Chains A and B, each alone.
Chain A
Amino acid sequence: KAGVTQTPRYLIKTRGQQVTLSCSPISGHRSVSWYQQTPGQGLQFLFEYFSETQRNKGNFPGRFSGRQFSNSRSEMNVSTLELGDSALYLCASSSDRGPLNEKLFFGSGTQLSVL
């Protein structure tokens, strides 16, 4: 069974640009979550999608948005990039059999550098 796939692996952008990151979950998983990871900080929750609907959202500005397609693949978009957006963006999928003990399967992430 293929794991969670994130593309691209690395990305370099300049301030003010926008970027789109892609995530393909494990086959059969309908829940996809996005996290931002920076050195010294815990994973910061961005949002979660389930069956094409945003089910949960973290405390990030509106420049961060996402969507999920009917095949459960998800994209995350960041507009008007700022230097502080430089981070590893992780996507995780789960089978969503229930809210408890729902372990996440993570992709290797997209390392975004904003210059």
Chain B
Amino acid sequence: GQNIDQPTEMTATEGAIVQINCTYQTSGFNGLFWYQQHAGEAPTFLSYNVLDGLEEKGRFSSFLSRSKGYSYLLLKELQMKDSASYLCAVMDSNYQLIWGAGTKLIIKP
């Protein structure tokens, strides 16, 4: 079967750095997405990786290793507004998105 694993919850301190991991086993691979979802709101797109390596976008970076079936989202200089759930999703060989359960990130002052 297809599977996406993420930690359920993480806690970090304002101003610090946090890394949210995502491992996947899917039928084929056509890219990996990260979305952010604040409580009670719509998920919003953060990043897309299809090739191995690090993609940096401001305070957020996303890394992919296809051989290891592994990705991480790195958040730097954490702000209180970064408290949210972070969703990892993989597009499989049928171009369907398979979603992880999400990681709830709690930022403490």
Contact = CB atoms under 8 A, between A and B. Distances in A.
Interface of A: 3-4, 35, 40-45, 56, 58, 90, 99-101, 103-109
B74 interface: no
Contacts, number: 57
Contact of A45 (B4, B97, B101, B102): B97
A101 B44 contact: no
B: contact size bracket:
20 to 34
Secondary structure of the A contact surface, majority rule: loop
Interface of B: 4, 8, 30-31, 33, 35, 40-45, 48, 50, 87, 89, 91, 94-102
A4 B41 CA distance: 12
Contact of B48 (A4, A45, A58, A103): A103
Contact of B42 (A44, A45, A56, A109): A109
25 contacts: A3-B42, A41-B101, A42-B4, A42-B98, A42-B100, A42-B102, A43-B43, A43-B89, A43-B97, A43-B99, A44-B99, A45-B99, A56-B94, A56-B95, A99-B95, A100-B91, A101-B48, A104-B35, A105-B42, A106-B35, A106-B42, A106-B43, A107-B42, A108-B40, A108-B41
